[in-house]
Structure 1
Amino acid sequence: MKIATARTQADDAVQAAYALARTIKTRISTPKLLMIYFTEHYDVQALQRTLYRLFPGVPLIGCSTCYGVMTQNGCTSGPAAAIWACSDDKGSYGSALVSHQAHRHVRDSARMALTQAIEESGRCGELPKLIALHSTPGEEEATLSAIREELGVSVPVIGGSAAAETVGGNWAIFDHKETATSGIAISVFYPSARVSYSFHSGYAPTQRHATVTDVRGRALVSLNHQPAAEVYKRWYESETGLTLDPTDSLFSQSTLYPLGTQTGTIHGLPYYTLSHPTFINAQGHMELFSQLEVGQTVYFMSGTSEGLISRASRVVESANDHALCQPEPLGGLAIYCAGCMLHVKDRLDQVADNINTALYNAPFVCPFTFGEQGLFKGGELSHGNLMISAVLFHKD
């Protein structure tokens, strides 16, 4: 297996596709899979059509990213696109996109996308070693649940929800057949290389916690039977000593102080899935980028800017599987939350340098997404916010 990446800041979608193709073809003559990340500046249909014309018959998956994209060469701001490619004579790969339809439940769309991707890989009846998931924001929990039910076990997933410059912006996904602004895109991997993975939050719980007593969709209504927005405001102001103004970008104010639910423990230590508060809706309820359930205990979590910069490399180091053997990564994929990225935007090259060190300078691509999906070491498949997911491919 061989991995290569390329990036471009060409203004035009067609020019961007040609620039990416020229670089990749000097490094990999016959790719088995292409993964493309792009900012909203591009004509998505033109980008998709041109790439497939330049790489006929090659499975591909595309997902929009917020602000820019990161590779081993640093962070590139928009207009920007990056491509991840692999060749693998002994491996198999497939991809598929299914658009959401009003008459079809999201679980059925997820099953269809997974089945079609596996069929395209030619490995029907075999469990993939890895699934890459790029859906549009909104129903990620149901999508993961359907994947788990369809396969019967937890297969490693690296996922990031499509993003744009703004929440509710011009996000998009595509495969080699179509583009969509609402749907699910999946790639399945049957690589000849060994796969390792990691999924982390990097935030710590405080002593403040409560029970979820009412939710409506992704709107958190009440905690301990009190208005959730008021409870969160009290926690925030007590913990930080700052005044919380919910009308002044709750999204950015809460980046270092999300809510968390304990997902499991490893070596006796708990780990958490995060939910990022985004705004207070017209009913006074707190909207989140993920789903909570009545009866769950939620914790007021705390992070730091320095932690956001350093934790990407820690996640990659965790994925390096030091306990198994001396790591020799061929390359990797990483997913970094857009909310975290915006908080440390001026220091993203430092984040890239840290990942390079942890990856032994092997090639990687990392988009900035509006939701992250991954498999915890304890086996829980989860969707969260302000998270980092990483997958590495190793020489055996």
Structure 2
Amino acid sequence: MKIATACTQQPDAVDAAQTLARTLLSRLSAPRLLMVYCTEQYDVDALQRAMVALFPSVPLIGCTTCGGVMTQAGYIEGPTAAVWACNDEKGSYGTSLVPHQAHRPIRDSARIALNQAIEESGRCGELPKLIALHSTPGDEETTLAAIREELGVSVPVIGGSAAADTVGGRWAIFDNKQTAQSGIAISVFYPTARVSYSFHSGYAATTKKAIVTEVRGRTLVSLDHKPASVVYRDWYEEETGQTLDLDDSLFARSTLYPLGTQTGKIHGLPYYTLSHPMFVNQDGHMELFSQIAVGQTAHFMTGTSEGLIARASRVVESANDHALRTPQPLGGLAIYCAGCMLHVKDRLDQVADNINTALYTAPFVCPFTFGEQGLFKGGELSHGNLMISAVLFHKD
């Protein structure tokens, strides 16, 4: 297995595709899978058609990314498009995109996308070593549950929800057949290389916590039977010593202070799935980027800018440790939260340098997403916010 990446800032979609193809083919012959990421400035339909024309028989999956992309070459600000590819003669890969339809449950769309991707790979009846998931924001928890139910076990997932430069912006997903502004895109991997993975947040729980007493989808209504937005404001002001206007930039102000729910423990230490507050709606309720269930304990979490910069490399290093062998990575994939990226945007080259060091300079690509999905080391498939997911491919 060989891995290569390419990146371009050509503003025209067709020119960008041609540049990506030219650069990629100078580094890698006969790719077996393409993963494409672009900022919202591109005509995604034109980019998808051009990539399919240039690589007509190669499975392809892609999505939009917030603000730019990272590779081993560093952070490249938008407009930009990037591609990750592997050459793996004895490996198998398949992709599928299923647009959401009003009459079809999300679980059914997820199952269809998964089974179509497996069918395209030619490995029906075999569990993939890895699943890459790029859906549009809104139903990631249901999608992961459907994948787990369909396979019967937890297969490693690396996932990032399509993003744009603004919340509610022009995001999209695509495969080698179509594009969509709402749907589920899945790629299945049966590589010859060994796969390792890691998924976590790097935030710490404070002593502030409460029981979730009412939710409506991703709207958090109450904590300990008190208005959730008021509880959160009080926690924030006590922790930071700063006044919080709930109508003013809650998304940005809460990046270092999200909510977390305990997902499991490793060596007696708890780990958490994070939920990022977006805004307070007209009813005074708090809108989140992920779901929290009634009866769960919501913890007030805290992080630091330095932690956001350092933790990407720690996640990659954790994936290396998880392999329990001397690291010899051929390359990797990483998913980095767009909210975190915006908070440390002026230091993203440092983030890329840290990942390069942890990856022993092997090629990687990393989009910035509006939700992250992964498999915790305790075996839980989870969707969260402000998270990092990483997968490495190793020499045997």
Tell me the TM-score normalised to structure 1 length.
1.00
CA distance in 2, matches of 1:323, 1:83: 26
AA aligned to 1:292 is: I
Partner of 2:189: 189
**Could you give the per-residue CA deviations for residues 107-128 of structure 1, whole angstroms, max 9, x where no partner exists?**
0000000000000000000000
CA distance in 1, matches of 2:281, 2:198: 34
| Contact 2:110–2:147 (8 Å) recurs in 1 | yes
Three-state SS of the structure 2 residue aligned to 1:61 is strand
Three-state SS of the structure 2 residue aligned to 1:354 is helix
Partner of 1:309: 309
**Could you give the per-residue CA deviations for residues 341-396 of structure 1, whole angstroms, max 9, x where no partner exists?**
00000000000000000000000000000000000000000000000000000000
Count of residue correspondences: 396
AA aligned to 1:242 is: Q
| Deviation of 1:247 (Å) | 1.4
Partner of 2:157: 157
**Could you give the per-residue CA deviations for residues 16-57 of structure 1, whole angstroms, max 9, x where no partner exists?**
000000011111120000000100000010000000000011
| Deviation of 1:323 (Å) | 6.1
AA aligned to 1:104 is: R
AA aligned to 2:357 is: T
| Contact 2:32–2:59 (8 Å) recurs in 1 | yes
AA aligned to 2:102 is: A
1:201 aligns with 2:201: yes
1:203-242 to structure 2, matched below 5 A, reads 203-242=203-242
Question: Structure 1: where are the runs of 5+ without partners?
Answer: none
Three-state SS of the structure 1 residue aligned to 2:291 is coil
Partner of 1:333: 333
AA aligned to 1:112 is: I
1:47 aligns with 2:18: no
Residues 314-323 or 141-150, more deviating: 314-323
AA aligned to 1:270 is: P
1:97 aligns with 2:60: no
| Contact 2:197–2:322 (8 Å) recurs in 1 | no
CA distance in 2, matches of 1:27, 1:11: 23
Q: Which runs of 4+ in 1 moved over 6 A?
A: none
Three-state SS of the structure 1 residue aligned to 2:66 is coil
CA RMSD of the aligned region, Å? 0.6
AA aligned to 2:354 is: N
Partner of 1:123: 123
CA distance in 2, matches of 1:162, 1:333: 16
Q: Could you say if the C-alpha distance between residues 258 and 322 of structure 1 is closer, same or farther in structure 2, counting changes exceeding 3 Å?
A: closer
Three-state SS of the structure 2 residue aligned to 1:379 is coil
CA distance in 1, matches of 2:131, 2:32: 15
AA aligned to 1:49 is: R
Partner of 1:81: 81
CA distance in 1, matches of 2:349, 2:375: 27
1:9 aligns with 2:9: yes
CA distance in 1, matches of 2:116, 2:32: 17
CA distance in 1, matches of 2:87, 2:42: 27
1:29 aligns with 2:52: no
AA aligned to 2:377 is: K
Partner of 2:376: 376
CA distance in 2, matches of 1:90, 1:57: 16
CA distance in 2, matches of 1:246, 1:359: 40
CA distance in 1, matches of 2:322, 2:383: 26
| Contact 2:8–2:20 (8 Å) recurs in 1 | yes
1:268 aligns with 2:268: yes
AA aligned to 2:3 is: I
Partner of 1:64: 64
CA distance in 2, matches of 1:146, 1:386: 23
Three-state SS of the structure 2 residue aligned to 1:246 is coil
CA distance in 2, matches of 1:325, 1:384: 29
AA aligned to 1:293 is: A
**Could you give the per-residue CA deviations for residues 105-155 of structure 1, whole angstroms, max 9, x where no partner exists?**
000000000000000000000000000000000000000000000000000
Three-state SS of the structure 2 residue aligned to 1:215 is strand
* Percent of aligned pairs with the same amino acid: 80
| Deviation of 1:322 (Å) | 6.1
| Contact 2:159–2:389 (8 Å) recurs in 1 | yes
AA aligned to 2:190 is: Y
| Deviation of 1:321 (Å) | 2.7
| Contact 2:331–2:394 (8 Å) recurs in 1 | yes
**Could you give the per-residue CA deviations for residues 75-134 of structure 1, whole angstroms, max 9, x where no partner exists?**
011100110000001100000000000000000000000000000000000000000000
CA distance in 2, matches of 1:192, 1:203: 35
AA aligned to 2:295 is: G
Three-state SS of the structure 2 residue aligned to 1:327 is coil
| Deviation of 1:248 (Å) | 1.3
1:385-396 to structure 2, matched below 5 A, reads 385-396=385-396
Question: Structure 2: where are the runs of 5+ without partners?
Answer: none
| Contact 2:196–2:322 (8 Å) recurs in 1 | no
Partner of 2:134: 134
CA distance in 2, matches of 1:163, 1:243: 30
| Contact 2:35–2:62 (8 Å) recurs in 1 | yes
AA aligned to 2:259 is: L
Tell me the TM-score normalised to structure 2 length.
1.00
CA distance in 1, matches of 2:169, 2:40: 9
CA distance in 2, matches of 1:184, 1:375: 18
Three-state SS of the structure 1 residue aligned to 2:321 is coil
CA distance in 2, matches of 1:140, 1:280: 22
**Could you give the per-residue CA deviations for residues 233-289 of structure 1, whole angstroms, max 9, x where no partner exists?**
000000000011111110000000000000000011100000000000111100000
1:110 aligns with 2:93: no
